[in-house]
Amino acid sequence: MKIIAVSAVTAGGKTTAVNTVKKKLPRCASLHFDDYSFDGEVEDFHQWVLDGADYNVWDLSPLKADIEKIIRCGKYDYLLLDYPFAYRHSLIRDYIDCAVFIDTPLDIAMARRILRDMKNASADEIREEMNVYLNYARIAYVQMLKDIKPSSDYVIDGVQDLEYITMELLDIIMNRGNKK
């Protein structure tokens, strides 16, 4: 089984890409980081970055258990991880055969996040979210660009449309998908 981690900043296109690719690959399973609640989850990303951005503070034991369960079942040739950390978490890194980073510019990711998550928000709520982003959260997005992007095996241009990103991911998985 080949395990591919797909990373990006929040609203960078991970879930959409994983779900689209999964439909095109036979015998493919996926696990999505956002479906879990982990002990050690970071509440204050600004402080987390100031403290050294230790990705291992998240207890990813439930994700690890599900990866092992899928491996043991023997039904799948591919496992796609919709997972933000690439090789940066010690509990998961050895399972990953290939890490792909979708490099979506922060302004596009933010616009997507507002459109996706704040459909019914008031203008004041959106302004407050922008204030939080600028003063506290942006530092964590930038940290991902410093840590996750360079540690990934492949980088896909997140400005491209979904069809392009899907085809790039499929090519990486089917033809190039091994660690550097």
Flag whether the pTM goes above 0.75. yes
Average pLDDT over residues 43-61: 93
Average pLDDT over residues 78-102: 96
Q: What are the CA-CA distances from residue 52 to residues 10, 45, 47, 142 (Å)?
A: 20, 11, 9, 13
What count of other Cβ atoms lies within 10 Å of the Cβ of residue 74?
7
pLDDT at 53: 93
The region of weakest confidence among 58-72, 83-97, 118-132, 166-180 is: 166-180
If we measure between CA atoms, which residue out of 155, 24, 163, 171 comes closest to residue 99? 155
If we measure between CA atoms, which residue out of 174, 147, 145 comes closest to residue 80? 174
pLDDT at 180: 47
| Cα dihedral 158, 112, 4, 100 sign | positive
pLDDT at 43: 86
The fraction of the chain above a pLDDT of 90, given in percent, is 82
Domains and CATH numbers, the chain: 2-176 (3.40.50.300)
Only one residue has tokens 């797909």, namely 6
Query: What digits encode the pLDDT tens for the residues 141-173?
Result: 899 999 999 999 999 999 999 999 999 999 999
Count, residues in the chain: 180
pLDDT at 142: 92
H-assigned helices in 86-176: 106-117, 123-132, 138-151, 162-171
Average pLDDT over residues 88-110: 95
Residue 22 makes CB contacts below 8 A (sequence gap 6+) with 28, 29, 30, 80
Rg (CA), the chain: 16
Do the Cβ atoms of 115 and 100 come closer than 8 Å? no
pLDDT of 65 strictly over 50: yes
